[in-house]
Amino acid sequence: MLATQSDAVTREELSQQISAARLQTDHLFRIVKPESLYDRPIAERHRIVFYIGHLEAFDWNLLHERVFGVKSFHPEFDQLFAFGIDPVGGGLPTDLPADWPSIENVHDYVTTIRAALDDKLDAVTDFHTPLTDGFALDTLLNVAVEHRLMHAETLAYMLHQLPLNKKIRQAETRTAISSPITHRSIEIPSGEITLGLPRRGEWFGWDNEFEAHTVQIPAFAIDQYEVTNRQYLEFIANQGYETRAFWEAADWEWKSAQQIFHPAFWRRQGEQWLYRTMFEEIAMPLDWPVYVSQAEAKAYARWAGKSLPTEAEWQRAAYSAPDRGEHDCPYPWGKETPAARFGNFDFSSWNPAPVNAFPAGQSAFGVHGLLGNGWEWTSTEFAPFPGFEPFPFYPGYSANFFDGRHFVMKGGSPRTAACMLRKTFRNWFQPHYQFAYAGFRCVNR
């Protein structure tokens, strides 16, 4: 599913996008055994049942009064399911399963909201005329679709942490064994890169993607591939989690308090390391990218005598060329739309793949795996671009996280929708969040 061009969108295309996004999230909830829908797999997040109601509540709260002038069917549920949580520095939720409505009532709410919205959308003839807040309906629908697709990914993180016996197993594909990997750094000369979207452009973007501006970047060298489980094992074997010098003070405190000695997706069994996929534990896949928090990524980089890239450095390695500077292609590999040969994305797999499995997706500089297979941590704090203006219909989407405690990730994972592979999309998480499908690569400056 690709970002929608505002002057070309049709009712049929929008309807297809909405239906496809709903199918993704509906399928995820069906993975959970019914008796486990009130579990909380990640302490910092709501119980699973919240998200069943949240996706429809978000769409309804966005559209029912602002666009259609329709009164609420269930104001209590509209509020109950309105907002997710992202606690910083403690303050974990303490609600109990009994505090939530029955799953039958939640499903009735979802069905009612979908039917009401679909009925109103079927009658719309103009998707492009700006509404009272200056944004057209097609923009709001893109917000609704991408919001749901973001949850299709973050819900996968959550369900990954649900005990295996509480899930209904699905087929898992694994990429065939790739050729041996030779790790090296690629020299990127100094140059200019554009970050962000022009505000009067024709493509959809979230508020934090605006305004387009140029950045001058000194020369640097970047890893050709994301760091693998094999490489990270070396860090662990060299006492990486026990050596304070590799960790920033706040990260060391967090790691020590939480008794963290390895990535969240790993488990030690005797002398063997196992890797937990969505539905089983397997022998450690050494050439897959390691998924870790930013704190763990920074510690590895310091151990290796390197650093994490900035957002701008990552962008230059992905979207510039040795002979012509920044190119105008929408993807690292060129202008072709995302397809299976270019990377591991768009819900194509539950698992990562070897970091060298998609040579067709490399950038003009020869950097592999920039889109899909695992988001990539940067050292850049999530902050507004010059000219930032919050969405009036969703003012807290980005601004609530401009707090110096969230960091930009770029790229995408196996569960990232194709529409969010655009070069300007910015993801972000707290540095101590271990559960995202996020890896990293290092730079030398």
Question: How is the chain split into domains, by residue range?
Answer: 11-166, 178-445
Q: How far apart are CA 314 and CA 377, in angstroms?
A: 10
Q: What is the pLDDT of residue 133?
A: 85
Q: How far apart are CA 432 and CA 243, in angstroms?
A: 18
Q: Where are the beta strands (DSSP E) in 240-329?
A: 266-269, 272-276, 281-283, 320-321, 325-326
What's the predicted TM-score (pTM) here?
Answer: 0.95
- Token output for 260: 């963290």
Nearest to 291 by CA among 216, 221, 214, 350: 350
Query: 8-11 contacts: CB < 8 A, separation 24 or more?
Result: 9/127, 9/128, 9/138, 11/121, 11/122, 11/124, 11/127
Q: How far apart are CA 240 and CA 262, in angstroms?
A: 9
> In this structure, are residues 15 and 127 in contact, taking their beta carbons and an 8 Å threshold?
no
Question: In one letter, which amino acid is 306?
Answer: K
Instruction: For residue 184, count other CB atoms closer than 10 A to its CB.
Output: 10
Q: Where are the beta strands (DSSP E) in 107-156?
A: none
Q: What is the pLDDT of residue 354?
A: 96
Question: In one letter, which amino acid is 144?
Answer: A
| Among the four given CATH numbers 3.10.20.310, 4.10.520.10, 3.40.605.10, 3.90.1580.10, the one describing domain 178-445 | 3.90.1580.10
> In this structure, are residues 443 and 224 in contact, taking their beta carbons and an 8 Å threshold?
no
Helix, strand, or coil (residue 204): coil
Q: Determine the CATH number of domain 11-166.
A: 1.20.120.450
Residues 6+ apart with CB under 8 A from 440: 226, 227, 292, 294, 297, 300, 301, 308, 376, 377
Its sign, for the CA torsion 23, 24, 28, 31, is: positive
Q: What is the pLDDT of residue 91?
A: 79
Buried (b) or exposed (e) across 116-135, using 16+ Cβ within 10 A?
bbeeebeeeeebeeeeeeeb
Helix, strand, or coil (residue 282): strand
From residue 127, give the alpha-carbon distance in Å to each of 1, 144, 196, 380. Answer: 19, 14, 25, 36
Helix, strand, or coil (residue 143): helix
> In this structure, are residues 37 and 172 in contact, taking their beta carbons and an 8 Å threshold?
no
Q: What is the DSSP letter of 208?
A: G
From residue 220, give the alpha-carbon distance in Å to each of 10, 145, 200, 313. Answer: 44, 37, 33, 8
Q: Region of 382 please: left (phi>0), alpha (psi -120 to 50) or beta.
A: beta
> In this structure, are residues 275 and 156 in contact, taking their beta carbons and an 8 Å threshold?
no
Q: How far apart are CA 43 and CA 213, in angstroms?
A: 38
Q: Where are the beta strands (DSSP E) in 288-420?
A: 320-321, 325-326, 375-381, 407-410
Question: In one letter, which amino acid is 73?
Answer: F
Helix, strand, or coil (residue 113): helix
Query: Which segments in the chain show pLDDT lower than 70?
Result: 1-9, 89-90, 174-177
Cα angle, residue 384 at apex, residues 329 and 367 outer, rounded to 5°: 35
> In this structure, are residues 48 and 103 in contact, taking their beta carbons and an 8 Å threshold?
no
Q: Where are the beta strands (DSSP E) in 53-199?
A: 185-188, 191-195
- Token output for 176: 């065939």
Q: What is the pLDDT of residue 4?
A: 45
Nearest to 410 by CA among 292, 310, 340, 339: 310
